[in-house]
Structure 1
Amino acid sequence: MVEKVAAGTRERLLAAAERLLLTEPYDEVSVRAVCAAAGANPAAVHYHFGSKEALVGALIEDRLGPLWAEGLAGATGGRDSVPAVVDTILAPFLELASDPLGRLHLRLLARFVLGRHLTSWRGPWFRMDSWAKLLPELAPAEAKRRWMLAFDLIIMRFGTPEIEEHGMPGPALTALRDFVVAGLTAPGEQR
C-alpha cells in the first residue's frame, strides 16, 4: 500500500512539473510550486527525486524513454546498423517537434543535455555506455564521444525556435541524418 501511495505521489509530481513547465520558464518553476500543484508535502520532490534537476531528468526519461525503447531494443552493433539506429532516433524527434507537449520535452532535454546537468539516468538509452556498445569496432571512449556529439547536434537542431515553429524541412533532415551517420561510422581509434 505504501509503495502504491509513493508511486501515485511520484506520478503527481511529474505531471505537476510537466504542467508548470508548459507555461513557465524552467528557472521560474520552483520545487515548492511543483509540490503545491501536485497536492504533495513541500518536501515530496526531495524525498522522491532528490532535487529539481533529478525531477526534470525523471520526467524526461519517463516521457521520452518509451519512444526509443522499442525501436532500439533489437539494435545490433556495428557500422552497418548505424543508419537504421539513427533513423530510429530521429523518428520520435520529428513526432515530438510537431506537438506542444513534445516540444516542451525537447526543450527540457536540450536544457539538460546541452547544459550538461548532472542527473542519474536509469534507462539504458539515457546512458552513453549503451550507445557505445553499438559501435563495437571503436574504443569505448571514442564511441561515447561520437554518440555525445551526435546527440548534441540532433538535440541542438530540434531545439531551435525555427524547428519549433515550422518543423524540420526534408532536405535539412536528410542532411542531419547523413551527417550523423557519417560521423558515427567514420574510421577512428580502434579497439
Structure 2
Amino acid sequence: MAEKTSARAGTRERLLAAAERLLLTERYDDVSVRGICTAAGTNPAAVHYHFGSKEALVAALIEDRLGPVWADRLAAVDTSVPAVVDAVIAPFVELSADPIGRLHLRLLAQLVLGRYPMTWNRHWFHIDSWVGLLPDLSEADSRRRWRLAFHLIIGSFGAGEDLSPASVAALRDFVIAGLTAPKV
C-alpha cells in the first residue's frame, strides 16, 4: 500500500514538474494536458486522475510553489493592514528576481486576471481568508477591496517587467490606502 501511495505522489510530482517546465517556455493556453502527460512520461489520463483538469493541475502547482512562501510570512505577522500588505508584497519582490519565480507570478496573473475557473485549496488563496482582516468594513466591502488590491499587486508583478524599489513602495502605499480608506 505504501508503494502505491508513493507511486501516486511520484506521478503527481512528475506532472507538476512537467507542467512547470512547459510553462517556462510556452503560454498557458498553448500547453495541453496531453503535452504535460507526455513530458511527464505518464498515461494521458494521469492529469485527470490526479487533478481533475489542467486548471486544477496549474492551481496545485501555484499553491505548492507559492503557498508556503505566503503562509509562513502571514502566520508570523500582526494583523495591521500595513504588516499584512508587506507580508504579501515581499515575496512578490523576491520571486520577481528569479526566473522560476517570475514564471509562477506570470501564471498567477494569467489565471487570476484571465478569470480562469480555478479551484484553490490552500487557505490564503481564498478571498474569504482575507475578509476578516478589514474588520471596520462589511464582508462585501472587504471582499471587494481585497480583490482590487490583489488584482493590482498580481497585475503589477505578473506583467514580467522589473519594478523599481520606488514603484514597489508606491504600489504598497496605494494598496494600503485603498484597504484602509474610510467607508463612503
Q: Normalising by the residue count of structure 1, what TM-score does the alignment of the two structures yield?
A: 0.91
Number of residue pairs aligned between Structure 1 and Structure 2:
182
The superposition leaves residues 112-157 of structure 1 with CA deviations (integer Å, 9 ceiling, x where unpaired) of: 1101112221111000111111112211111111111000001111
Q: Matches of 1:35 and 1:63 in 2, distance apart?
A: 20
Which ranges of structure 1 fall in alignment gaps of 5 or more residues? none
Correspondence 1:35 to 2:37: yes
Map 1:93-172 onto structure 2 (within 5 A): 93-161=92-160, 163=161, 167-172=162-167
- 2:68 is matched with 66
Q: Matches of 2:141 and 2:78 in 1, distance apart?
A: 18
Contact 1:76–1:134 under 8 Å retained in 2: no
Map 1:14-53 onto structure 2 (within 5 A): 14-53=16-55
Q: Matches of 2:118 and 2:167 in 1, distance apart?
A: 31
- 1:89 is matched with 88
Contact 2:105–2:154 under 8 Å retained in 1: yes
- 1:177 is matched with 172
Q: Matches of 2:112 and 2:47 in 1, distance apart?
A: 21
Q: CA deviation at 1:173?
A: 1.0
Contact 2:77–2:87 under 8 Å retained in 1: no
SS of the residue 1:118 aligns to: coil
Q: CA deviation at 1:23?
A: 1.4
Contact 1:97–1:103 under 8 Å retained in 2: yes
Which ranges of structure 2 fall in alignment gaps of 5 or more residues? none
Structure 1 counterpart of 2:163, one-letter code: M
RMSD: 1.3
Q: CA deviation at 1:75?
A: 4.0
Structure 1 counterpart of 2:10, one-letter code: G
Q: Matches of 2:77 and 2:166 in 1, distance apart?
A: 26
Q: Matches of 1:133 and 1:187 in 2, distance apart?
A: 16
Q: Indicate which of 10, 13, 31 corresponds to 1:11.
A: 13
Q: Matches of 1:99 and 1:71 in 2, distance apart?
A: 19
Q: Matches of 1:60 and 1:84 in 2, distance apart?
A: 23
